[in-house]
């Protein structure tokens, strides 16, 4: 979030334009999430400056939006259930385990919904291979298995079949 605000400030400085974020699709905005973009996220921006500066700022904002869209294209969301009482194991003390999973796999988010009938829904978003690896790790931790937090997915199998060099 801070990165985006910094980019907006940078665009304002470079163009000499005053950029003001207006309401969004969050609570109390008066805007329905359906009116927004990806995941209902939409923010209006007021641009104040000379006509040439505003045109330049609009062009730069359009490029920023396209860059953000490109960064999230190709992502997929995987949903599955795990036992409610194992969610705390996946999250870990002070969130360390879930942060390690995110760091090792490169997924953008791992979320848990409210438990229903002893099961919690886990939602993982990221590139397809990363999301699949994170799913494996979450399921393994939930099953009480030890998890290899190395980035090399094949390392587990190659250690068993080949002697150390």
pLDDT level of residue 74 (50, 70, 90 thresholds):
confident
Average pLDDT of span 7-23:
89
Token pair listed for 78 = 């995987």
Token pair listed for 8 = 């907006």
Please state, as a whole number, how many other Cβ atoms lie within 10 Å of the Cβ of residue 109.
14
pLDDT tens digits, 150-165: 754 443 344 444 444 4
* Helix locations, 34-154, DSSP H: 51-72, 87-91, 96-105, 128-142
Domains and CATH numbers, the chain: 2-72 (3.30.70), 76-160 (3.30.1370.10)
| pLDDT > 60? residue 102 | yes
């Amino acid at each position: 979030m801070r990165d985006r605000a910094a980019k907006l400030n940078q665009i304002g400085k470079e163009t000499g334009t005053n950029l003001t974020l207006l309401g969004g699709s969050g609570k109390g905005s008066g805007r329905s999430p359906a009116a927004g973009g990806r995941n209902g996220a939409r923010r209006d921006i007021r641009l104040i400056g000379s006509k040439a500066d505003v045109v330049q700022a609009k062009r730069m904002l359009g490029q920023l939006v396209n860059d953000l869209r490109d960064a999230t294209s190709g992502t997929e969301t995987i949903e599955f259930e795990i036992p409610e009482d194992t969610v705390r194991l996946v999250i870990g003390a002070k969130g360390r385990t879930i942060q390690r999973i995110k760091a090792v796999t490169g997924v953008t988010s791992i979320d848990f919904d409210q438990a229903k009938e002893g099961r919690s829904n886990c939602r993982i978003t990221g590139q397809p291979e990363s999301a699949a690896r994170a799913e494996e790790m979450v399921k393994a931790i939930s099953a009480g298995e030890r998890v290899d937090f190395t980035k090399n997915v094949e390392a587990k199998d190659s250690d068993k079949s080949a002697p150390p060099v």
